[in-house]
Structure 1
Amino acid sequence: MNQTVPLTFLNNITLTIKREDLLHPHISGNKFRKLKYNIQEAKRMSKTALLTFGGAYSNHIAATAAAGKEYGFDTIGIIRGEELESKITENPTLAFAQSCGMQFKFISREAYRHKAEPDFIAAITAEFGDCYIVPEGGTNALAVKGCEEILTEEDSAFTHICTAVGTGGTIAGLINSALPHQAVLGYPALKNAGLQDDILTFAKNQNWQLIEDYHFGGYGKVTPKLITFINAFFGQTSIPLDPVYTAKMVFGVIDGISNGFFPANSRILLIHTGGLQGIAGMNKLLAKKNETLIKTLSDD
């Protein structure tokens, strides 16, 4: 669903947000797109379990657990951080995933760095059996195929397509499906020197660029300025933004408009990639620091 953003900008620039966060209550946004064809492939291969990887507040872990419950798969999450094993009930994301039936294996951050290596995969397969393995963040060729379906014919009038970037799968899908007159802009949520190469693994066109000035310190990092922006945007539009991904992109786009980055008459489409489940965990961290919390629909 496309929703006009009720904000006024100079030079006849308009903002519209594609509410991918509304696709499914738990398999949200780009995770719905990324898992769609992976689920189909797992069924085709007669797999009975999905195994994937993620951190403490991973949208992908939550979505995979929900997808497993909905489509009849067992799910296994390889979780970064051994200390989290005793804190499942304190962590909204892990507690939700567990409630969907996900089994966890907690490993050290050092071991987690080797998660894509053949020896690691062999050991995991030996432990859990012949699972269908989905990479961290869900990005693979089938995920990109799903993300290519985000844009539809009704989006053809937009001049710019903007999205947050994590592992690069979503923007690769948008790059492949955007029309020749459309510029695809990615706003990385983390510092990743190899991100451009990761995107080029799947992207077929040259109609894109990364805007790397709005990660707010790195993955999962937020500042009071960003929280203030999220709450002000919600107050003006009634659109909630997750603090890890979409909020940073929307902040970057609006800042770019004020700085003259976008030409006059630009028609900008913002992709809301979901991730709202992460707000509860972020608010727990903010509360511990006695900082301002992120407002949500449940606060009304």
Structure 2
Amino acid sequence: MEFEIENIPIQEVTLNFATDVRLFVKREDLIHPFVSGNKFRKLKYNLAEAKNKKHDTLLTFGGAFSNHIAAVAAAGKLHGFQTIGIIRGEELNSEIDSNPTLKFAQKNGMQFHFVSRQAYREKTSETFITQLKQTFGRFYSIPEGGTNKLAVQGCAEIITENERDFDTICCAVGTGGTIAGICEGAFAHQQILGFPALKGDFLQKEVSQLTDQNNWKLISKYHFGGYGKVSDELIAFINQFKQQTNIPLDPIYTGKMLFGIIDLIKNGHFGKQNRILAIHSGGLQGIEGMNQKLQKKGQKTIV
């Protein structure tokens, strides 16, 4: 994908409390309006492989407000691929017009196939894939969240010579591909901290299967109840952070990560003079859908 990925801005965050630690954000969210952050990185070599193997259709998987679904639809349109989204939740079939993520993907040409949550759990099984081939014919399959070896290869390119002087690299963790790539691309002196957006300890194993490096650690206490779960405290933090820095954060991944980083800094987790780089992995398209849910509950929304 021929997007502008040279000289991605690295923005320092002014911390309003006494510390000698310095915090910076790499604005990967600015790579492209629709295929940004880690989604661009994960798709880069997958799209090249699909073209190399003469595929004209991309098929992938995701939920109601999936950043990955939106990105694959947009990237597919940009690069001349048909796209198919296997969507978790049959009830969403009647909610496309009210769902900003699915509506966007459909406008970009994505064809949907809605399946039950039970059937979705079998998405990697040979039987399920065979059924999809019988239904849709030949396609290039990209896993849920986009994570595979080619995605890790792309995410390794997040760390360049521009990032050499940082001591700690932080990223949000969903399926594990981004942190695995960062671990592969990091310099020897750097520690990688991952902030899971999901509840549970299974990600330790997932990441270990994607990288042989041992320069990383997961900080698992900032998931706010699990994937897609938020609180008034988190929303207030996201709004305040944007007001102070002009950096928008999403509530699923980057908001939780930055909340966690700043909390750790306040509690003396990092050594003196530590230079921390947080990777902004995009995901901003999910804000509209989250705000819909928050409005229905009468809760504060993201501004």
Please tell me the TM-score bracket, short chain as reference: over 0.9
Deviation, structure 1 residue 8? 4.2
TM-score by length of 2: 0.96
In 1, Cα distance between the equivalents of 2:178 and 2:194? 9
138, 152, 161: which one aligns with 1:153: 161
Please tell me whether residue 177 in structure 1 is matched to residue 177 in structure 2. no
295, 298, 302: which one aligns with 1:287: 295
Q: 1:169-207, CA deviations, whole angstroms, 9 ceiling, x for partnerless residues?
A: 000000111111110000000014321111111212111
Which residue pairs with 2:61 in the alignment?
A: 53
On the 8 A contact 1:144/1:202 being kept in 2, the answer is yes
Question: For residues 83 and 97 of structure 1, do their structure 2 counterparts lie closer, same or farther at Cα, with a shift above 3 Å needed?
Answer: same
Q: Which ranges of 4 or more aligned residues in structure 1 deviate by more than 6 Å?
A: none
In 1, Cα distance between the equivalents of 2:262 and 2:17? 9
The aligned runs of 1:194-213 (5 Å cut-off) are 194-213=202-221
Deviation, structure 1 residue 9? 4.5
Which residue pairs with 1:101 in the alignment?
A: 109
Please tell me whether residue 84 in structure 1 is matched to residue 88 in structure 2. no
Q: 1:199-256, CA deviations, whole angstroms, 9 ceiling, x for partnerless residues?
A: 1112121111000000000000000000000001011101000000000000000000
Which residue pairs with 2:136 in the alignment?
A: 128
Please tell me whether residue 12 in structure 1 is matched to residue 30 in structure 2. no
Which residue pairs with 2:270 in the alignment?
A: 262
Tell me which amino acid in the other structure corresponds to 2:35: I
Which residue pairs with 1:233 in the alignment?
A: 241
Structure 1 gaps of 5+ residues are 296-300
RMSD over aligned Cα, in angstroms?
0.8
Please tell me whether residue 62 in structure 1 is matched to residue 70 in structure 2. yes
In 1, Cα distance between the equivalents of 2:130 and 2:12? 48
Deviation, structure 1 residue 7? 2.4
Please tell me whether residue 271 in structure 1 is matched to residue 279 in structure 2. yes
Tell me which amino acid in the other structure corresponds to 1:239: I
In the alignment of these two chains, the number of paired residues is 295
On the 8 A contact 1:8/1:14 being kept in 2, the answer is no
On the 8 A contact 1:38/1:143 being kept in 2, the answer is yes
14, 33, 38: which one aligns with 2:41: 33
191, 196, 201: which one aligns with 1:188: 196
In 1, Cα distance between the equivalents of 2:18 and 2:218? 24
Secondary structure in 1 matching 2:268: coil
On the 8 A contact 1:66/1:97 being kept in 2, the answer is yes
219, 244, 250: which one aligns with 1:242: 250
Which residue pairs with 1:224 in the alignment?
A: 232
TM-score by length of 1: 0.97
In 1, Cα distance between the equivalents of 2:279 and 2:155? 11
Q: 1:57-85, CA deviations, whole angstroms, 9 ceiling, x for partnerless residues?
A: 00000000000000000000000000000
109, 121, 125: which one aligns with 1:117: 125
Query: Matched residues, percent identical?
Result: 60
In 2, Cα distance between the equivalents of 1:184 and 1:266? 13
Deviation, structure 1 residue 16? 0.5
Secondary structure in 1 matching 2:157: coil
Q: Which moved more, 1:100-109 or 1:283-292?
A: 283-292
In 1, Cα distance between the equivalents of 2:163 and 2:90? 44
Secondary structure in 2 matching 1:30: helix
In 1, Cα distance between the equivalents of 2:199 and 2:223? 7
